[in-house]
């Protein structure tokens, strides 16, 4: 560590950049950052320990609570690990539905990041655009699963809900509209001279840095490291459809944005092919799993931020895992700040830290309080009723007029 430390500039634990508590200490000499430290654990919920006391079926929904943005990526990785443990092959229709949910999630997560990145740079037009075009994707989620986040779609051996044939044309129409909008956004972002000036050559990560810190996902692919779990260790329907892995060479924050924006189009391509594959067909969506045998299983999934890793060990006698290890992508992506932030200026460090897309939770449902009487206006059942009504409304609006954009245009 640096002796005779210079000025310490704190970022966090509560900071607009990090909407979840996390603490970075920057040691600065003038404007230049000479060293940095990361302190975490403000929000540690002990989910690995909790998992050891839950039933295997409950764990699927427990791990969904790890992240609000990429909430389906942990259940997918967990189900992969159990299916690896028991050697289960899931029905084909379930594979396609898993891929659809996974890719819709990538789409909304990448748009969310692009918006936030624009916001951190003081470019709020990008923020407004990206979040506006993200909203219909959440509506599509609500239409398919009944929820905007925490979709609760997965179970060990398949998925819980089917996608109805009558919904498919509406989903495809909405997707094609989103594609045009994302194309406009991509062109605007990539051609913008201000964004180029702020992002090009900033926070460069080399291939060696990626290897040393084990970074994954768009962070690795922006530095020319060609890894993607969806292609390398195929699961769900990723080996049944045509798509390609996006990589760029420079490793700066601009390239990370390019990778994420171009991946949106690949995701749309995957979803369209999956929807075509299930349209007009019937089939099983899950396979009953009666027993979790003794052994150990590893499952991983390419979440929007990179590889999610789950390890599960079962003793064959009890209904809970003996050990459940979870590694989220930010755990290996954030430590790259040691390589990317040192030597940069304070103002650039903010966007470099945000460049790895550190993960935070956005899932608080509403609670309406009466200030004078100091009690809740709606109770749990009323809230559930209201949210079901809203889902029905979205289905009806999308179904009849098929014009998701009418309130946006």
Q: Interface residues with other proteins (CB under 8 A)?
A: 39-41, 44, 46, 48-50, 53, 84, 87, 211-215, 227, 232-234, 295-298, 300, 307, 309, 311, 313, 322-323, 325, 327, 331-332, 335-336, 338
Minimum CB distance to other proteins smaller for 276 or for 294: 294
Torsions phi, psi of 225, nearest 5?
-90, 115
Least distance to other proteins from the beta carbon of 87, Å? 7
Nearer Cβ to other proteins (133/311)? 311
Nearer to other proteins, 342 or 383 (CB): 342
Residue 115: name the closest of 100, 133, 97, 98 by CA. Answer: 133
Taking the C-alpha atoms of residue 206 and residue 352, their distance in angstroms, rounded to an integer, is 14
CB of 347 to other proteins, least distance (A): 26
Cis amide bond preceding 13, omega within 30: yes
Q: Which residues pair with 11 in a beta bridge?
A: 24
Give the span between the Cα atoms of 58 and 62, in whole angstroms.
6
- Say how far apart CA 294 and CA 231 lie, in whole Å: 29
Q: What is the rounded distance in angstroms from the CA atom of residue 222 to the CA atom of residue 48?
A: 31
Nearer to other proteins (CB atom), residue 24 or residue 127: 24
Q: Please tell me the number of Cα atoms within 13 Å of 164 on its side-chain side.
A: 9
Could you tell me which of 146, 172, 70 has the C-alpha nearest to residue 112?
70
Q: Which is nearer to other proteins, 137 or 352 (CB)?
A: 352
Which single residue is written with the structure tokens 């810190």? 213
CB of 232 to other proteins, least distance (A): 5
CA–CA dist 25, 15 (Å, integer): 12
* Longest CA pairwise span in the chain (Å): 70
Nearer to other proteins, 335 or 405 (CB): 335
Residues in Cβ contact with 295 at an 8 Å cutoff, skipping those fewer than 6 apart: 85, 86, 313, 314, 316
Distance (Å, rounded) from C-alpha 232 to C-alpha 143?
Answer: 31
From the CB of 268, what's the least distance to other proteins, in Å?
A: 25
Q: Which is nearer to other proteins, 133 or 309 (CB)?
A: 309
Q: How far is the CB of 279 from other proteins (least distance, A)?
A: 30
Whole-number minimum distance, CB 62 to other proteins, in Å? 13
Q: Report how many helices (DSSP H) and strands (DSSP E) the chain contains, helices first.
A: 15, 10
**Minimum separation from the CB atom of position 189 to other proteins (A):** 29
Residue 408 CB, shortest distance to other proteins, in Å, is 40
| CB closer to other proteins, 117 vs 312 | 312
Q: Which is nearer to other proteins, 269 or 338 (CB)?
A: 338
Which of 33, 86, 67 is CA-nearest to residue 321? 86
Residue 194 CA to residue 121 CA, distance in Å, equals: 10
* Least distance to other proteins, CB of residue 45, Å: 11
């Amino acid at each position: 560590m640096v002796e005779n430390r210079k000025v310490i500039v704190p970022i966090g634990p509560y900071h607009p950049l990090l909407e979840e508590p996390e603490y970075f200490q920057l040691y600065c000499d003038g404007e230049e950052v000479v060293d940095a430290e990361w302190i975490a654990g403000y929000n540690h919920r002990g989910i690995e320990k909790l998992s050891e006391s839950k039933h295997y079926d409950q764990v699927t929904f427990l791990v969904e609570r790890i992240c609000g943005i990429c909430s389906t990526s942990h259940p997918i990785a967990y189900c992969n690990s159990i299916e690896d443990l028991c050697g289960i092959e899931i029905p084909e229709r379930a594979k396609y539905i898993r891929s659809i949910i996974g890719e819709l999630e990538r789409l909304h997560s990448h748009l969310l990041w692009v918006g936030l990145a624009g916001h951190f740079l003081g470019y709020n037009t990008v923020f407004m655009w990206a979040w506006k075009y993200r909203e219909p994707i959440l509506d599509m989620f609500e239409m398919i699963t009944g929820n905007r986040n925490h979709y609760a779609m997965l179970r060990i051996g398949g998925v819980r809900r089917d996608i109805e044939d009558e919904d498919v044309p509406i989903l495809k129409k909405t997707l094609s509209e989103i594609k045009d909008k994302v194309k406009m956004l991509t062109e605007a972002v990539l051609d913008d001279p201000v964004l180029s000036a702020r992002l090009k050559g900033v926070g460069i990560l080399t291939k060696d840095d990626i290897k040393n810190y084990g970074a994954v996902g768009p962070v690795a692919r922006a530095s020319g490291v060609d890894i993607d779990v969806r292609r390398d260790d195929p699961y769900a329907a990723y080996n049944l459809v045509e798509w390609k892995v996006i990589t760029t060479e420079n490793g700066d924050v601009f390239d990370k944005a390019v990778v994420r924006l171009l991946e949106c189009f690949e995701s749309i391509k995957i979803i369209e092919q999956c929807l075509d594959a299930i349209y007009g067909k019937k089939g099983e969506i899950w396979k009953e799993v009666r027993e979790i045998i003794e052994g150990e299983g590893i499952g991983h999934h390419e979440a929007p931020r990179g590889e999610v890793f789950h390890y599960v060990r079962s003793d064959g006698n009890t209904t809970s895992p003996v050990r459940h290890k979870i590694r989220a992508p930010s755990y290996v992506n954030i430590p790259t700040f040691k390589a990317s932030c040192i030597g940069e200026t304070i103002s650039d460090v903010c966007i470099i830290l945000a460049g790895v897309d550190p993960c935070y939770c956005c899932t608080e449902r509403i609670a309406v309080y009466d200030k004078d009487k100091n009690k809740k206006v709606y109770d749990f059942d009323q809230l559930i009723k209201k949210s079901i009504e809203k889902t029905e409304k979205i289905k009806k609006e999308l179904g009849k007029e098929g014009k998701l954009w009418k309130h946006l245009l």
